[in-house]
Amino acid sequence: MEIKKVCVLGAGLMGNGITQVCAQAGYQVAMRDIEQRFIDGGMASIKRNLGRAVEKGRMTQDEMDTVLGRITPTVDLSKAANGADVVVEVIVEVMEIKKKVYAELGKIVPAHCLFFTNTSGLSITELAAVTDRPEKFIGTHFFNPVPVMKLLEIIKGHETTDETLKIATEWGKTLGKEVIVVNEAPAFAVNRVLCPMINEAFFVLGEGVASAKDIDTGMVLGCNHPIGPLALADLVGLDTLLHVIEGLHEEFGDKYLPAPYLKKLVRAGRLGKKSGKGVYDYA
Ligand code: CAA
Ligand code: NAD
């Protein structure tokens, strides 16, 4: 199957990054969000990234304009999904909201259209089960920031066919990503390891063992991480991180108890870089 049109649902942190790499790889991309301000934010981020590439001589202005010309930003779901060969769903990490969107999609997209979800850890099988095409449904888990991070973690659901896996894997490679295929499990492989480590950093912070800066400095200088776990939490989004930890807690029990301090920051609206404040302030 040839993929020409990709529909990306969600223009947030991950949605705009996925839109950008798809457009750079030559696909026509419709990027849909529920409000114009989210679309505007997503397009501003894409333009900033491409503009930086032009400044650094990695891309010409003409090439940037061509890439932007492949993107159709819209709030209209029918317009975005109509004629799509693939829908990449990149909306908030809430099972019921995602299910609602999938239930609508089947009525709009062509019969051959595949569904790729960028969920950080929700059950692929459960999401697929609300669609009219569970065999064409698969997890394609990108990493943040999408244009920079090389990994694509692919996860089959119970009904996903090998053909869908093959197409998703080939597509990931056309985006310049290295693909790993893992079995379905809560938070898959990478976030199962990463997110509890970040959650633990919030316990350490909340218990007053060390300051945020010292925890991060410790993990950067002591463990050679590129940034500390609390700065990484701010990059990921504290709400998204909490959803992942809550999912692990629900599936596996108290071993994955969400840190109270993480919950408190989310309740305070400190969602990380995207909201201007998280563990750190981004004036
Ligand atoms: N979008 C696009 N490009 C970006 C970017 C962004 N948001 N942030 C940084 N970059 C680019 C910069 O332009 C720069 O590119 P050039 O060198 O080509 O100019 C390059 O990345 C390095 O950036 P900086 O020098 O500004 O900063 P840095 O050296 O600290 O690198 C980083 C930034 C790549 C984000 C690095 O800090 C890093 O690797 N952090 C860890 C990221 C990580 O672990 N991501 C996984 C999160 S978990 C996840 O995604 C899964 C989930 O489900 C939650
Ligand atoms: P975000 O909060 O930055 O963006 C989510 C976007 O989804 C928002 O703009 C919101 O308006 C939009 N949205 C909500 N309902 C929608 C709908 N019905 N249709 C279209 N758009 C809708 O979140 P994000 O960080 O981009 O995360 C999106 C998905 O990607 C989540 O499933 C998350 O777990 C996953 N993910 C996130 C990261 C990360 O580091 N942030 C990494 C990998 C995967």
E strand or H helix at 41, and its extent? helix 36-55
Contact 122, 244 (CB under 8 A): no
Task: Give the residue among 274, 281, 283, 280 at the shortest CA–CA distance from 41.
Answer: 274
For residue 145, cis peptide bond before it (omega within 30 degrees of 0): yes
Ligand nearest to the CA of 146: 1
Question: Would you mind telling me the total number of residues written for the chain in this entry?
Answer: 283
Separation of CA 149 and ligand 1 centre (Å): 7
E strand or H helix at 5, and its extent? strand 5-9
Nearest ligand 2 atom to the CA of 121 is: 34
Task: Identify which of 19, 45, 148, 178 to mutate to test ligand 1's pocket (most ligand atoms within 8 A of the CB).
Answer: 148
The one-digit pLDDT tens for each residue of the chain (283 residues) are 899 999 999 999 999 999 999 999 999 999 999 999 999 999 999 999 999 999 999 999 999 999 999 999 999 999 999 999 999 999 999 999 999 999 999 999 999 999 999 999 999 999 999 999 999 999 999 999 999 999 999 999 999 999 999 999 999 999 999 999 999 999 999 999 999 999 999 999 999 999 999 999 999 999 999 999 999 999 999 999 999 999 999 999 999 999 999 999 999 999 999 999 999 999 8
Contact 128, 117 (CB under 8 A): no
**Is the CB of 101 inside a 6 Å radius of any atom of ligand 2?**
yes
Q: Among all chains, which residue has been given the structure tokens 């002591």?
A: 222
Residue 36, token pair as written in the block: 């114009």
Q: Chain centroid to CA 187: how far?
A: 13
Beta bridge partner(s), residue 86: 6, 114
